[in-house]
C-alpha cells in the first residue's frame, strides 16, 4: 500500500476492499462490550481510557510517551501501518486516536466515515472473533505542532491570526450548563458544536465539504487562520480537528486540557 494512497475520511465500502492489505491496521475505539458483540473483521481494539490521561483538574491529557508506546505496541502497530480508526459514538473517540497519531508523527491514517453505524447500515461483514496481533515495538516521540497547552493559548488570545474553536454545546459555551468551577468559554472563542458536522440522516457520516466550509467561514474559522479546537476533555474537539484537517486547514491544534483545565483553575480569563 503506497503512502497516502487512502483518504483521511474513508467510506466503509472503500475500507472493505482494503481489508487484509499488508500495512492496513483497523482500530476499534468503541467500548469493549460493543467490540465483543461485533466489529470489523481483523480490527484490533483500543480502550479509549488507554489513550488519555487524567491529571486533575485536566481530565483529557496525553499519556506519557512510554505509556502510548506500550498501547500502540500491544496491538502490533508499526510506523508504516495505515491506521483506520472507528467507534460507535459518532467518531469522537476514533478522532482522538487520530489526533494522537498526529502528535506522534504517524503519517498514514483515516477516520471511517460514519463509523460502526455506517458499516452496519451498509450491510458489511461483521466478526466476533477476538483479534490478537503480534506485539510490536512502536516508538513514540511527541511533536508540538498539533498541541496547544494553556500557556500557548494565553499567549495567542489577542492574536488576529488565531481562532479558538469551542466544540461544546451552546449551553456549555454560554455558561448555562456548569461542568467546571467556572462557566463560560475562553475569551474570543467561537462556538461550533461538534455534532453540527455530522449528518444524522446519513449513518453519522460527515456533512458535505461545501456545507462544512460555509458553516465554519460564517463564524470566522477560515483556512488562513491557525485554529485551536477544544471542548471539555478534547474528545469532541478531536473530531472537529479531523473535520478541519480534511477540509484542508493546515494549521490546527487541539487543547487536551480543554475546559476541564481552563474552567477549574483561577489564573485563566473567562468570557
Residue 15 is given by DSSP the state H
For residue 1, is pLDDT > 80? no
Q: Active-site residue among 231, 242, 243, 247?
A: 231
Give the DSSP H/E element, type plus range, for residue 104. none
DSSP 8-class letter at 86: E
Residue 3 has pLDDT above 80, yes or no: no
Q: Which domains does the chain have, with CATH numbers?
A: 9-121 (3.40.250.10), 150-262 (3.40.250.10)
pLDDT reported for residue 4: 56
Q: What would the pLDDT profile of 194-225 be if each residue is shown by its tens digit?
A: 999 999 999 999 999 999 999 999 999 999 99
My answer on whether omega of the bond before 121 falls inside 30° of 0, hence cis, is no
Angstrom distance (rounded) from CA 194 to CA 257: 17
Query: Is the pLDDT assigned to residue 5 strictly greater than 90?
Result: no
Contact 164, 192 (CB under 8 A): no
183 is catalytic: no
Name the DSSP class of 208: P
Quote the pLDDT of residue 230. 98
Nearest to 84 by CA among 191, 9, 4: 9
Cis peptide before 57 (omega within 30 of 0): yes
Distance CA 264, CA 56 (A): 9
Amino acid at each position: 500500500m503506497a503512502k497516502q494512497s487512502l483518504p483521511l475520511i474513508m467510506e466503509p465500502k472503500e475500507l472493505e476492499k482494503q481489508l487484509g492489505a499488508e500495512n492496513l491496521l483497523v482500530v476499534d475505539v468503541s467500548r469493549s462490550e460493543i467490540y465483543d458483540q461485533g466489529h470489523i473483521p481483523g480490527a484490533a481494539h483500543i480502550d479509549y481510557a488507554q489513550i488519555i490521561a487524567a491529571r486533575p483538574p485536566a481530565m483529557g491529557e496525553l499519556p506519557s510517551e512510554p505509556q502510548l508506546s506500550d498501547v500502540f505496541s500491544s496491538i502490533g502497530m508499526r510506523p508504516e501501518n495505515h491506521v483506520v480508526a472507528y467507534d460507535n459514538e459518532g467518531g469522537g473517540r476514533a478522532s482522538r486516536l487520530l489526533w494522537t497519531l498526529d502528535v506522534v508523527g504517524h503519517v498514514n491514517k483515516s477516520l471511517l466515515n460514519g463509523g460502526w453505524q455506517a458499516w452496519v447500515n451498509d450491510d458489511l461483514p461483521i466478526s466476533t472473533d477476538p483479534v490478537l496481533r503480534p506485539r510490536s515495538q512502536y516508538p513514540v516521540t511527541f511533536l508540538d505542532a498539533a498541541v496547544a497547552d494553556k500557556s500557548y493559548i494565553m499567549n495567542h488570545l489577542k492574536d488576529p491570526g488565531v481562532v479558538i474553536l469551542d466544540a461544546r454545546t451552546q449551553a456549555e459555551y454560554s455558561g448555562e450548563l456548569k461542568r467546571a468551577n467556572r462557566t463560560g468559554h475562553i475569551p474570543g472563542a467561537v462556538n461550533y458544536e461538534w455534532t453540527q458536522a455530522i449528518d444524522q440522516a446519513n449513518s453519522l457520516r460527515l456533512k458535505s465539504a461545501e456545507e462544512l466550509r460555509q458553516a465554519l467561514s460564517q463564524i470566522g474559522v477560515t483556512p488562513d487562520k491557525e485554529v485551536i479546537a477544544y471542548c471539555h476533555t478534547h474528545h469532541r474537539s478531536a473530531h472537529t480537528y479531523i473535520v478541519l484537517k480534511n477540509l484542508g486547514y493546515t494549521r490546527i491544534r487541539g487543547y487536551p486540557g480543554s475546559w476541564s483545565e481552563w474552567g477549574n483553575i483561577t489564573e485563566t480569563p473567562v468570557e
